[in-house]
Structure 1
Amino acid sequence: MGRLQEFSQNKYFILFVLFAGWMVAYLDRMVMSVALTSIGDDLHLSAASLGIVLSSFFAGYALMQIPGGLLADKFGSKRVMIVSLIAWSLFTAFTGFAWSLASLLVIRFLFGVGESGFPAASSKAIAEYFPKAERAKAQSTMLSSNAFGAAIAPLFAAPMMLWLGWRNMFVVIALVGMVLVAVYWVVLKKPTNQQKGNAKHVETKQISMKDLLRTPTMWKLVIAWFGLDVVIWGFSSWLPSYLLKVRELDLLQAGVISSLPFFAGGIAMILGGWVVDKYFVGREKYFAIVVEILGAVFLYLMFKTPSLEMAVTYQILSAFFLYAGFAGIWSLPLKILPTAVMGSAAGMINFGGQLAGFVSPMVMGFLITAFNGSYDAAFWFLILSTIISVAACLTLGDAKKSLESKVISV
């Protein structure tokens, strides 16, 4: 027990636990994309209907992002994360019992509501345990779980579906989530006074949620994150189906190949946090702009090349640069805003991202149906969203001064 107490105050061990939570969260979400074709066949659903199912999760998830952030600030990161873990594990299991389009829509919407507090609470935990100079690296490392979770999901889901079927697969994943609930309950403790001092420094001016809502830079970050996450969620949600339908791979081949871009993305997020902290202090927006443009270029090359080998190469490069953009956008609020409102700020920015998660799969599903199974228009939609994110980043100006006008830290 003494050894466990020692671990519970180690910021890097806490980072590992947060990373594990995000991994399970993304596994719970992303296996849905792999199971999409089987669910559609069993329940007789069109691509447009399946797009709505994917988006229903994000409707609930986006709706509760800001309230989830406020709850994390009020009740603490540990409580909100544990409640979220319990809720999303239950609704993961319920997904395996869905019997119709309507039941899927309700279950996935409530799944999103249940999970919504976790992102803001985990970002608040980063602010509690890490000094500001290390937060971009810590946040990027934690969020690299998004990409690694998306990478592992098809590798896990494809053989699990062949072995147990898609329904039982969701029940097994739910059990993993409940194990993690016990880990969080035992391991997560309040940070020590020394860690609080390192994380907060001395904040001499308070900032409220109303101040955040009135700050133009915060809304620019919301739009930048919305544009980038449209691409991330559209890409990750429909890539397995694209490989099955357009590139004509079998389920196991599609599972393996669709995992490769996200392994690259996870590495890019960790490297991106390190590069931003070391070389782009005060110039974070330029990093985000460059990597997003490169990601869009390789996305275009991916769906235009007739070669399967080159398509796989381009999708890996596209994911690498797009996921690197996480570090540029998320570094600013983590470095400048006080710990006391980090949950609210993260919830506000992540609202844009999860609104993107609602819009992107649904719009892509409609575009695929409207163009008779062609994915070209859907991918052009993702490229347009990248342009929106880049434009928002270009308008940031001196983001650091804009945010520091609301809070003075020593």
Structure 2
Amino acid sequence: MAPPLSAGHADTPARSAGAAEGSLRRSRARYRVLGLLAVGTMINYLDRTVLGIAAPQLTKELGIDAALMGLVFSAFSWSYVLAQVPGGLFLDRFGSKFTYWLSMTLWSLCTFVQGFVTGVGALFACRLGLGAAESPCFPTNSRVVATWFPQSERAFATGTYTVGEYIGLAFFSPFLFALMGAFGWRSLFYVVGAVGLVFGLVWWRLYREPQDHPAANRAELDYIEAGGGLVVHGAREAKSEAKGGDIADKNANKKHGFDWRMAGRLLRRRQLAGICIGQFAGNSTLVFFLTWFPTYLATERHMAWLKIGFFAIMPFIAASVGVLFGGAFSDWLLRRGKSANVARKLPIIAGLLLASTIVLANFVASNVAVIAILSLAFFAQGMAALGWTLVSDIAPAGMLGLTGGIFNLAANLAGIVTPLVVGLIVAATGSFVWALAFIGVIALIGAAAYIFVVGDIRRIEL
């Protein structure tokens, strides 16, 4: 009888056989992990946006007026932004597996409890809790991609999990509307919250770091490490010889002595400051579509609700294609020998410039032409959604969580600023003309930040 395998899977049959052959076909465990991230991201966005679907029935039953409901909507972004840096520090301290499981469990509980609320105070508290609980999600996504993927595949990986944001909204909204019609608005929170709780258990059961994953053979680990992966747990930049992910993380944290001053030091680096501005710009376009887009179609374009339901799907599908195209194009450029500056920045700059064409919707009369323009702008926003790939490329060793938290904080300020500015413009002018102009100008500012501020894409040394 063969001796038992070690806990680290160093001598699994697949790896031993590969060693014997001298040439081992690479396993694809990293794509399984990527699938987990994509599903988790899709659930994340369903949880944060399901309130918008429930709002018509919810506001009538709870007696909430439009102004108060706007405050409830914004509560998510306030706590989400404020918790970004603490969430990043928590991630650096406790690692990807535990942080993501705890985050998903807590945000799913906040969603589930919203189905029981009877007043605005409880609803407001749930939204604050939801925002805080979701804060480590995208920093963890970035950390997992940096750990599991070589640099040449990170844009593809980032694009793949990011597309979950759009797929969930585009394809599950009809189901959620039907569910609400049959069982009432509370059922939405029960179902979406329960799905998140179950998937949290799936994540805990299936996620492993590369060196501990039973499906990852030695050829895949070597491929990932040779391409710059495993940086969190190998800590090559820190010259750490520690064995195992948790030890490497703790040593890295101890080496850098994390404190709040680190955030200021990072923000003074042009690479991080520039991509923060660019991501704010890209997220402004995204937030417009998540908040004001249906209202724009109903009030500015005078579309019937049935037509809105049909047309509203188109830009989200376009954005999904844009995300995948941007990631694939970036990685293709890198494989063709282009520098990280060209391969990473070109799709983002092109996407932000193209997103600014949203203003052209002000000058066409045809609803079909308007949807085409908006779909093009949202496709471009998806194409520009590669900022997290750059976070993986520039974060100092052992500080990916903190860097990602700062980046996500800046990016999600758009969730506070954009809805408020658009609302003020529409209230003052009675039209979306200048609101679309505002979104277009912000996109141009984001492109300028990548052209003139970011500089070389290289790991920050502190």
Normalised to the residue count of structure 2, the TM-score between the two structures is 0.79
- Once the 2 structures are TM-superposed, how far is the Cα of residue 246 of structure 1 from its aligned partner? 3.7
1:380 aligns with 2:434: no
- 2:364–2:370 CA contact under 8 A, matched in 1: yes
Please give the residue correspondences for 1:393-404 in structure 2 after superposition, counting only pairs within 5 Å.
393-396=450-453, 398-400=455-457, 403-404=458-459
What amino acid sits opposite 2:277 in the alignment?
I
Return the alpha-carbon distance in structure 1 between the equivalents of residues 416 and 302 of structure 2: 27
- 1:58–1:358 CA contact under 8 A, matched in 2: yes
- Once the 2 structures are TM-superposed, how far is the Cα of residue 204 of structure 1 from its aligned partner? 4.8
- 1:30–1:153 CA contact under 8 A, matched in 2: no
1:332 aligns with 2:390: yes
- Once the 2 structures are TM-superposed, how far is the Cα of residue 292 of structure 1 from its aligned partner? 1.1
Count of residues in correspondence between the two structures: 399
- 2:271–2:455 CA contact under 8 A, matched in 1: no
What amino acid sits opposite 1:359 in the alignment?
V
Please give the residue correspondences for 1:134-145 in structure 2 after superposition, counting only pairs within 5 Å.
134-145=153-164
Q: Which residue of 2 aligns with 1:18?
A: 37
Q: Which residue of 2 aligns with 1:203?
A: 237
Q: Which residue of 2 aligns with 1:223?
A: 277
1:52 aligns with 2:71: yes
1:234 aligns with 2:288: yes
Q: Per the alignment, in what secondary structure is the counterpart of residue 399 of structure 1?
A: coil
CA pair 235-258 structure 1, distance change in 2 beyond 3 A:
same
Return the alpha-carbon distance in structure 2 between the equivalents of residues 234 and 157 of structure 1: 21
Aligned partner (choices 354, 370, 385) of residue 294 of structure 1: 354
CA pair 95-249 structure 1, distance change in 2 beyond 3 A:
farther
- 1:134–1:277 CA contact under 8 A, matched in 2: yes
What amino acid sits opposite 1:321 in the alignment?
A
Q: Which residue of 1 aligns with 2:21?
A: none
- 1:47–1:369 CA contact under 8 A, matched in 2: no
CA pair 152-146 structure 1, distance change in 2 beyond 3 A:
same
Return the alpha-carbon distance in structure 2 between the equivalents of residues 364 and 153 of structure 1: 26
Q: Which residue of 1 aligns with 2:170?
A: 151
Instruction: Determine what percentage of the aligned residue pairs are the same residue.
Output: 29
- 1:233–1:356 CA contact under 8 A, matched in 2: yes
CA pair 126-390 structure 1, distance change in 2 beyond 3 A:
same
Please give the residue correspondences for 1:6-405 in structure 2 after superposition, counting only pairs within 5 Å.
10-192=29-211, 195=221, 197-198=225-226, 199=229, 200=231, 202-204=236-238, 208=256, 210=262, 211-279=265-333, 281-283=340-342, 284-297=344-357, 299-327=358-386, 329-337=387-395, 340-372=398-430, 374-396=431-453, 398-400=455-457, 403-404=458-459
Return the alpha-carbon distance in structure 2 between the equivalents of residues 121 and 35 of structure 1: 29
Return the alpha-carbon distance in structure 2 between the equivalents of residues 222 and 26 of structure 1: 21
Q: Per the alignment, in what secondary structure is the counterpart of residue 97 of structure 1?
A: coil
CA pair 246-161 structure 1, distance change in 2 beyond 3 A:
farther
CA pair 253-171 structure 1, distance change in 2 beyond 3 A:
farther
Q: Deviations over 1:265-301 (max 9, x none)?
A: 112111101111222632233332222121121x112
Return the alpha-carbon distance in structure 2 between the equivalents of residues 388 and 257 of structure 1: 29
CA pair 35-258 structure 1, distance change in 2 beyond 3 A:
farther
CA pair 126-331 structure 1, distance change in 2 beyond 3 A:
closer
- Once the 2 structures are TM-superposed, how far is the Cα of residue 174 of structure 1 from its aligned partner? 0.7
Return the alpha-carbon distance in structure 2 between the equivalents of residues 169 and 256 of structure 1: 21
- Once the 2 structures are TM-superposed, how far is the Cα of residue 39 of structure 1 from its aligned partner? 3.7
Return the alpha-carbon distance in structure 2 between the equivalents of residues 184 and 221 of structure 1: 30
CA pair 96-254 structure 1, distance change in 2 beyond 3 A:
farther
Between 34-43 and 81-90, the greater mean CA deviation after superposition: 34-43
Return the alpha-carbon distance in structure 2 between the equivalents of residues 141 and 336 of structure 1: 20
What amino acid sits opposite 2:209 in the alignment?
K
Q: Deviations over 1:212-245 (max 9, x none)?
A: 2442321221121112212211222221233344
- Once the 2 structures are TM-superposed, how far is the Cα of residue 248 of structure 1 from its aligned partner? 4.0
CA pair 309-366 structure 1, distance change in 2 beyond 3 A:
same
Return the alpha-carbon distance in structure 1 between the equivalents of residues 108 and 424 of structure 2: 29
- Once the 2 structures are TM-superposed, how far is the Cα of residue 25 of structure 1 from its aligned partner? 0.7
- Once the 2 structures are TM-superposed, how far is the Cα of residue 359 of structure 1 from its aligned partner? 1.9
Q: Deviations over 1:89-129 (max 9, x none)?
A: 11112323344444332221111001111111121111111
Q: Per the alignment, in what secondary structure is the counterpart of residue 189 of structure 1?
A: coil
What amino acid sits opposite 2:188 in the alignment?
M
Between 252-261 and 84-93, the greater mean CA deviation after superposition: 252-261
Larger radius of gyration: 2
What amino acid sits opposite 2:448 in the alignment?
A
What amino acid sits opposite 1:266 in the alignment?
S
Which consecutive residues of structure 2, in runs of 5 or more, have no partner in the other structure?
13-26, 213-217, 240-251
Between 205-214 and 186-195, the greater mean CA deviation after superposition: 205-214
- Once the 2 structures are TM-superposed, how far is the Cα of residue 153 of structure 1 from its aligned partner? 4.3
Q: Deviations over 1:29-48 (max 9, x none)?
A: 22233334444444454544
- 2:97–2:207 CA contact under 8 A, matched in 1: yes
Across the aligned residues of Structure 1 and Structure 2, the Cα RMSD in angstroms comes to: 2.8
Which gives a bigger RCO, structure 1 or 2 (Cα 8 Å, sep 6+)? 1
What amino acid sits opposite 1:366 in the alignment?
L
Normalised to the residue count of structure 1, the TM-score between the two structures is 0.88
- Once the 2 structures are TM-superposed, how far is the Cα of residue 183 of structure 1 from its aligned partner? 0.6
